[in-house]
Copies of this chain bind each other. A is one copy, B any other.
């Protein structure tokens, strides 16, 4: 309350470079010689105001460098114009592009995105949810993550939710599934088409839905081509470069023959390429490598990586769009572009035997 706030400011002033407490509507009103209601109406364009007052108020605003207090406005309006976004790691090249998509989309429409990292940890994600709810965000976008469908359905009672990479129907939730299975098929079919018969798969974390769908696509493509599926050629990874290195090393050491490698994501593929290089193998001459995601830097790898594009940027924009539609009370009609194979130079026909 006022005493406290004043104290606070006084203290700050003494120590750091003291922000005077920022101007308020009331100060503007006084300066312009009108009532605060008038000022508010001018700022929001809520009602017609005579030109001379309008000028006076605008002058006062400029003079005082007034900026409306978002917290106060939020309180009065019951909404914050903020969308919370839970991502797994804000520094992941994969999620980063998506966040950018969300930010751009929302910002142009007067919303601000509030990002938090869930760290692939259920507890962390709950903490994020809690924080976001406490800030009374108008909606929450969840990029992947570990929260159970049940929990999500529950949160959806409190705030509209958009979740990606799931297929989950529930009131208050809109989900934006990625066609991972189709992507997995595309990648594998490409390799098969090139003539490969021994195609290894570097999986992500075992129970991760993205990973298992891509795996499913891989098996399906194999099956359709009449190639037996050899479980020995499937090794776990961790969605990161390191996991790709280790998985590939394990594969190499195991002695099982393979001429191509489908990696659950681009980062794993980067690791795989490095492992191949370390082992004196050339990509694509000795082993072809396909990734998934089409990260920006994949086209700048040496060699440029063949991969499945799912345009995470668009995913971001779309989730923003879906959220805004929900906020309008509409049922979102957003869907994602289809996944798409991007053939570059990390794949080639197997060496003739």
Contact = CB atoms under 8 A, between A and B. Distances in A.
B69 A19 contact: no
Interface in A61-94: 65, 67-72, 74-80, 89-93
A116 interface: yes
A131 B106 CA distance: 13
Given A68-B134, A90-B100, A96-B91, A297 B277 contact: no
A70 B241 CA distance: 39
A285 interface: no
Copies in the complex: 2
B136 A22 contact: yes
Interface in A277-295: 277, 283
Contacts of A241: 296-297, 299-300
B78 A17 contact: no
Nearest to A245: B300
5 contacts: A5-B77, A16-B326, A21-B78, A245-B300, A277-B302
Interface of A: 1, 4-5, 8-9, 11-12, 14-17, 19-22, 65, 67-72, 74-80, 89-93, 96-97, 99-100, 103, 112-117, 130-131, 133-136, 156-160, 171-173, 241, 245, 267, 270-271, 273-274, 277, 283, 296-297, 299-304, 326-327, 329-330
Given A17-B173, A22-B133, A241-B297, 20 more contacts: A8-B78, A16-B326, A17-B156, A17-B157, A65-B158, A69-B136, A70-B136, A72-B75, A91-B99, A103-B117, A112-B114, A112-B135, A113-B115, A114-B114, A115-B115, A273-B302, A274-B300, A277-B302, A277-B303, A301-B301
